[in-house]
Amino acid sequence: MTPAARQIEIANLIRQHDHLTVNELAEILNISRETIRRDLSELAQTGKIQKFHGGASLPTIPGEGPFRDRMSKNAVAKNQIAAAAVELIAPGETILIDTGSTTFYFAEKLSELSDLTVVTNSTKIARVMSTPPATARTFLLGGEFHADNRQTIGSMVISQLKSFRAHHAVLTIGALDARTGVMDYSIEEAQLARGMIEQAETLTLLVDSSKFEKIASFEVCGLKRVTNLVCDKQPTGKLREALIDAGINIVCAET
């Protein structure tokens, strides 16, 4: 395991448990306490964790409570989804990524690939993709800033998107069903998603199974526009039938 991959794993473990000691991390990962301490120092410098004597916890950032909560929810499933989704990306490609806890996990793993161009409205994702050892050329879309989710939204963001063409749009969503397809709870985020889809050759959805057969307020796109669905559990019933009929590649990260 490379140092970058090991640090991602340490950050994921802390998100899952809220806090862990150096001894606990050394035992879980079967590596020395000295290595853990060095990794925690580097993670703390980039703001991914907060050190305390003998261990580390999630960072406390004003105005980031809801996003932090989502990072901890279904963390194992989101990490599995992210790992599976990265396999769909090749060096040299351009990727549009929206704001979300699952896309943040995806970005952490994506940062290990070389020769990428990433366009995002998430300041957290932009930071991950532009902080060494990551080497991606990173573009942060400007617009109205929402501190709660560390994202930009609005007409300025949509306008800037038209300057890019991408191989992939990689998105999180609010809900997915057989009738409507892809939906979101925020009209601003739905509009952003539609803008990214228009500029991309393929559309990959990162969706944990809690979003299946649910309804959200704003339609994003129909199932025919989706290329890949990366999920933690296989969809069933009418949704699965509709996904297959639409020719969607279903990638299940369930282990």
What is the pLDDT at residue 65?
46
Query: Can you give the pLDDT of all 255 residues of the chain as single tens digits?
Result: 788 889 888 888 887 787 889 999 999 999 999 999 999 988 887 777 788 888 888 765 444 445 555 555 667 788 889 999 999 999 999 999 999 989 999 998 999 899 999 999 999 999 999 988 888 999 999 999 988 788 999 999 999 999 999 999 999 999 999 999 999 999 999 999 999 999 999 999 999 999 999 999 999 999 999 999 999 999 999 999 999 999 999 999 875
pLDDT reported for residue 62:
43
Q: In this predicted model, what pLDDT tens digit does every residue of 113-160 receive, in sequence order?
A: 999 999 999 999 999 999 888 889 999 999 999 887 889 999 999 999
Cα–Cα distance measured from residue 187 to residue 154, given in angstroms and rounded to the nearest whole number: 10
Cα gap 203→167, rounded to integer Å:
9
Give this prediction's pTM: 0.76
Spell out a b/e string for 88-119, using b for 16 or more CB atoms within 10 Å of the CB, else e.
bbeeebbbbbbbbbbbbbbbbbbbebeebbbb
In CATH terms, 3-57 corresponds, of 1.20.120, 1.10.3470, 1.20.140, 1.10.10, to 1.10.10
CATH class entry, domain 67-252: alpha beta
Domain map (residue ranges) of the chain: 3-57, 67-252
